């Protein structure tokens, strides 16, 4: 029984790297592509393969897709408050680098990271207000 836990799935590193570079197609992969690329583990390979190739469906997105101008109007607008009136928050160096590049390139360096994050959070809270409120109320217990 311990040997079952020790078995590690065979991973095709080249296929995984290709996925990271190319991404996943919107319609997903066929079963044949999943098996050929090494994504399936050895236990699944021993099962009988279906004769028909079925597509693996991707879950629908939670929000609508925005075009470039809508995105820039939503997130690249200046805000009235400044960062010095807020609170300090740690941002991972990787994310800080990404945020800096977004602000430099998309907003033509006319926007601060603070303003971009403010707009991003405002949109997130508006978009997911119901889910956040429901989750919060389910998990929040009164002190007394």
Residue 104 confidence (pLDDT) above 80: yes
- The whole-number pLDDT of residue 33 equals 60
- The whole-number pLDDT of residue 43 equals 46
Kindly give, in sequence order, each residue whose CB lies less than 8 Å from that of residue 69, ignoring residues fewer than 6 positions away. Answer: none
pLDDT band at 11 (very low <50, low <70, confident <90, very high): confident
- Asked whether 96 and 79 are in contact (CB, 8 A), the reply is no
Cβ burial of 72 (10 Å; 0-12, 13-18, 19+) is: middle
Which of 78-82, 102-106, 111-115 comes out lowest in average pLDDT?
78-82
Q: What angle do CA 21, 26, 28 make, to 5 degrees?
A: 85
Q: In this predicted model, which residue has the larger pLDDT, 40 or 121?
A: 121
Report the first-to-last Cα separation within the chain, whole angstroms: 48
- The whole-number pLDDT of residue 25 equals 57
Q: Count the alpha carbons within 13 Å of 18 in the hemisphere toward its beta carbon.
A: 11
Q: In this predicted model, which residue has the larger pLDDT, 37 or 141?
A: 141
- Asked whether 105 and 133 are in contact (CB, 8 A), the reply is no
Residue 90 confidence (pLDDT) above 50: yes
Q: In this predicted model, which residue has the larger pLDDT, 53 or 17?
A: 17
Entry pTM: 0.47
């Amino acid at each position: 029984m311990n040997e079952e836990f020790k078995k590690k799935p065979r991973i095709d590193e080249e296929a995984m790297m290709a996925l990271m570079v190319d991404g996943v197609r919107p319609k997903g992969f066929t079963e044949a592509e999943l098996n050929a690329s090494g994504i399936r583990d050895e236990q699944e390979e021993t099962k009988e393969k279906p004769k028909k190739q079925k597509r693996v469906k991707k879950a629908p997105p939670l929000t609508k897709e925005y075009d470039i101008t809508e995105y820039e109007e939503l997130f690249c607008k200046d805000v009235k408050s400044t960062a010095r009136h807020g609170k300090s928050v740690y941002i991972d160096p990787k994310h800080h680098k990404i945020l800096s590049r977004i602000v430099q390139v998309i907003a033509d360096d006319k926007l601060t990271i603070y303003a971009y994050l403010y707009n991003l959070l405002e949109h997130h809270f508006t978009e997911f207000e119901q889910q956040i409120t429901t989750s919060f109320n389910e998990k929040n217990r009164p002190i007394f």
